[in-house]
Structure 1
Amino acid sequence: MCSSAVCWLQCQNGGFCQRPNTCSCPEGWMGRLCEEPVCSSPCLNGGRCIRPNRCHCSPGWSGHDCSRKRKTGYYHF
C-alpha cells in the first residue's frame, strides 16, 4: 500500500499533494492546483491579481488595488 498521495497534475507555487488529486496551497494561493493568486483587496477598474496581493492594473490606473487614476496629459515646454 502506498503511503503518499498522488496528484495527476502537479501542485504549483509551493503547494503539495495532500490527498489524491487535492493540493494544499500555501498562503496567498488557491485553486485546484494552487494556480490562482489571492489579493486581499480586490483589483479594481479591470485590474487582475497576478501574484499574492499584487494587481496588474489596466491602462490609466495605478495603486496596489488599481484604485488611483493615473494623471495624463502633462506636457513640458
Structure 2
Amino acid sequence: MQRFQNETVLIVFMICLDVTTSLIKPGRRVCPISRASSQVVPSPQTYIRPFIIPCNGDKCGNSSRVVYKTAVRTVFYRQVVHDAVRKCCPGWTNFEPNDELCMKPVCKSECLNGGSCRGPDYCACPQNFTGPLCELDVNECDTGNHKCQQLCNNTIGGYSCSCYDGFRPTNDRECE
C-alpha cells in the first residue's frame, strides 16, 4: 500500500480586475471606491491519517494493523480583501481609455448649436444661444442687444436689420 505524506487540495478562483481603475492617479475629480475582492491563500493543515500496515507474522499474526500518523496537506481557502480603487467621480471621465486623469466633463445630453460641455451637465453656449443645452435662441431684438438703426429681425443665432417704408439701407445696419 502506498503512503502519502503530503496531500494537496486545489481550489481555483478567477479574479477579474478592472484594469482602467488601477491606472488612474489620485487627484481632482478622482473618487476612491472601496472594493472587496477575494484571494486564494494556501495554508498547511495537519491531520491524522490512518496507514494500514501488514503484520507479516509479528505480534498481530497474519492480519494487518492500523497506525495513525500526523500528515500535512495544503488547503486553499478564499480570503476577502478590502481595498480602495480609484475611478473618475460622477460627471467626469478620461479623454482616452488609458488616461491617468479624469479631466473630461460628461454631459448626459449633447450640447446644441455649437455649445460645449464644460462641467458635469453644464453646457457653455456661444454668444447667441442660451439654455441648459444651448437650445434656445437669444432674441437680440427683444433684449436691445443689437445695432439696427430702425427695424431688427431676429434670426436663429443672430439678427438682421431692415428699414421702414420709404427708407433704404445704406449699409448693414443704417437707413437713409
Q: Determine if the TM-score, normalized by the shorter chain, exceeds 0.5.
A: yes
Identity %: 31
- 1:61/1:68 contact within 8 Å kept: yes
Structure number with bigger Rg: 2
Structure 2 equivalent of residue 63 of structure 1? 131
Structure 2 equivalent of residue 27 of structure 1? 90
CA drift of 1:42 comes to 0.6
- 1:38-57 alignment, distance < 5 Å: 38-57=106-125
Secondary structure class of the residue paired with 1:73 = helix
Q: Which structure 1 residue ranges, 5 or more long, are not aligned?
A: none
Question: In structure 2, do the counterparts of structure 1 residues 49 and 60 end up closer, same or farther at CA, with 3 Å as the change threshold?
Answer: same
- 1:6/1:17 contact within 8 Å kept: no
Structure 1 equivalent of residue 140 of structure 2? 72
- Aligned partners of 2:88 and 2:23: how far apart in 1? 15
User: Letter of the aligned partner of 2:28 in structure 1?
Assistant: Q
Structure 2 equivalent of residue 12 of structure 1? 28
- 1:47/1:58 contact within 8 Å kept: yes
CA drift of 1:16 comes to 4.9
- Aligned partners of 1:30 and 1:6: how far apart in 2? 13
Relative to its length, the structure with more strand (as a share) is: 2
Relative to its length, the structure with more helix (as a share) is: 2
Which of 32, 37, 51 is the equivalent residue of 2:105?
37
- Aligned partners of 1:37 and 1:62: how far apart in 2? 19
